[in-house]
Structure 1
Amino acid sequence: MLVSVLVGAAVGVTILQKVIGENIAFGKTAKQSTTYGEYDASKALDETYSSRGSFTEDHVPSWWEVDLRGYFSISNITLTAADMGWNVHMRNAFVEVMDKDVSLCRDVQVEWCGNVPNTVATGEEFTFTCNATFPIRFVRVTRPGIDLLNIGHIDVQGVVATQPYRSYYTSTANRRVSFPSLTTSTETAGACGILCHKSHSCIDFSYRTTASTEANCLLTYKVVPLNSVADHAWSMYTLASCL
């Protein structure tokens, strides 16, 4: 089920909160075209694994993508090449930012941020400036042709931006968020969704049908492995990838 929340009529990027030095991609959800061994997409988000990072198998093309699970105005993106000779597998890769998941949606806005050169040294860093004028949710790195893609580490810098004027949430019954950032009461699930939309940093919310004077609306901005728990009285609503 989709819950649509309509707030206002204009789509724009409004800076609400500045986060200095924090990698807004850390802890988020990453995926890639294929995975070689244990080097899954999430490894590129954790600097602990920067010597090897994430690694794909041969694919046409090879790509890596992170869902920021929220909307941001991106200032710059830094790619760090891996060690142990794997650095060559980041050559010629290019970076793009998108408002929607290109694998699920048709009407995707895309902004090209930059291209890694043909020569890459071990541990070398490449920083690209993104000038997108729309709110960003996805960052994708692509290496064209039949080749491998290895990213030692990726750092995404940006600030929270307003969401597009319409937000869609998918519903899951019998679940509620386990780490609410705000607990309040509303008369309907839609009203709870509007609060989530207006908070900008909110990515998921839970609602239960009960008296509006009781706490029945939970908002969260946290992305953690166990972000929800079973609870038959609640329904959990997650921000959809294709808006």
Structure 2
Amino acid sequence: MAFKDKMEGLGYLFLLFGVLSNQGSSENLEENLALKGKAVQSSTYYRWGAASAIDGIRYAPGEASYCSITLNELNPWWRLDLQDYYYINNVTITNRADNNPERMTGVEIRIGNSLENNGNNNPRCAVVSSPVPAGGTVSFLCGGMGGRYINMFLPKIQTYLTLCEVEVYGTAYRRKTFLRMKLASSVDAAAVNNTFLHQLQSALGLSLVSDVKLSWTRLPYQEVTHEAKKPTRFCADKK
């Protein structure tokens, strides 16, 4: 922004146009979003914690290696927090390879922003309606359902919930907002930029985005709206 830092006695009209967008790239469809998230589950069976289902390892030799397992309980669930809002295109689940492959049957995939009932009341994308072979991987299209939380839920049954890998693919929520702001001031350029960004954040709220990028569609320009009047000098000849 090329203008003087300060000029006393002048008022300026700053016409600022900002674009608000989030950090993610909406073009990258191959990134497994689950790897950036955090997982929790209704309970944990020994050492098989929720994070094991998003470690990027579909299968490894050994007893339920790199899998998550809950206790044998009623309505077990597993939840992934993507840390941001995304449009989910598909969800891929890998079953354990050593034994008990039937435990994945009936799992509901739910996507949304609510944590009501631990997120299990969010809209349903799909149900694992048929048995998945030991070590098998299945994918479900979710049609761009929006949300921050991905739940694996086994309702109305008492059992263990076992997941060896959950992968989530989608696009980042990207919103562009153009804002025009008028400032009549003699403040410096940095202060104008900070004021604009602060007002943009306050006006729009940033609960659904992880980062804010401010860019100009038109460089700020200054318009002199008034000038300080110069004092009039009077001179008199001495006699």
TM range (shorter): 0.5 to 0.7
Counterpart in the other structure of 1:40:
49
Larger strand proportion of the pair: 1
Per the alignment, in what secondary structure is the counterpart of residue 130 of structure 1? strand
Deviation at 1:131, TM superposition (A): 3.1
Identity of aligned residues (%): 21
The unaligned stretches of length 5 or more in structure 1 are: 1-14, 166-184, 205-243
Deviation at 1:89, TM superposition (A): 1.8
Aligned mates of 2:144, 2:122 — CA distance in 1:
8
Q: 113-122 or 53-62, which moves further after superposition? A: 113-122
Query: 1:73 Cα deviation (Å)?
Result: 0.6
CA deviations on 1:7-59 (whole Å, 9 max, x unpaired) are xxxxxxxx961223211111311111110111111110012364431100022
Q: CA deviation at 1:101?
A: 1.8
Matched residue SS, 1:186: helix
2:194 is the alignment partner of 1:186: yes
Paired with 1:30 and 1:188, the residues of 2 have a C-alpha distance of 36
- 2:149 alignment partner in structure 1: 138
Tell me how far apart the structure 1 counterparts of residues 200 and 118 of structure 2 sit (CA, whole Å).
26
What residue in structure 1 maps to residue 210 of structure 2?
A: 202
What's the TM-score, normalizing by structure 1? 0.59
- What's 2:81 paired with? 67
The CA RMSD over aligned residues, in Å, is: 3.4
Query: Residue deviations 1:158-182, cap 9 Å, x none?
Result: 000147x9xxxxxxxxxxxxxxxxx
Residue pair 1:72, 1:136 contacting (<8 A) in 2 also: yes
The 1:103–1:109 alpha-carbon spacing in structure 2 relative to 1, beyond 3 Å, is: closer
CA distance in 1: counterparts of 2:123 and 2:135, whole angstroms? 26
Q: Which residue of 1 aligns with 2:171?
A: 159
The structure whose RCO (Cα within 8 Å, separation 6+) is larger is: 2
- Indicate conservation of the 8 Å contact 1:96/1:139, yes or no: yes
Tell me if the contact between 2:97 and 2:134 (Cα under 8 Å) persists in the aligned partners.
yes
Q: Match of 1:143, as an amino acid?
A: L
Which stretch has the larger CA shift, 145-154 or 186-195? 186-195
Q: Helix, strand or coil for the counterpart of 1:36?
A: coil
> How many residue pairs align between the two structures?
167
Is the Cα–Cα contact under 8 Å of residues 44 and 50 in structure 1 kept in the other structure? Answer: no
Within a 5 Å distance, the mapping from 1:1-243 to structure 2 comes to 17-48=26-57, 50-51=59-60, 52=64, 53-103=67-117, 110-131=122-143, 135-144=146-155, 145-162=157-174, 186-187=194-195, 191=199, 193-194=201-202, 201-202=209-210
**Separation (CA, whole Å) in 1 of partners of 2:72 and 2:118:** 22
CA contact (8 A) 1:24 1:158 kept: yes
Residues 17, 194 of structure 1: alpha-carbon distance in 2 compared, 3 angstrom cutoff: farther
In structure 2, the CA distance between the partners of 1:197 and 1:155, relative to structure 1 (3 Å rule), is farther
- Distance between the aligned counterparts of 2:56 and 2:198, measured in 1? 39
Write out the 4+ residue segments of structure 1 that deviate beyond 6 Å after TM superposition: none
Distance 2:33 2:59 in 1: 17
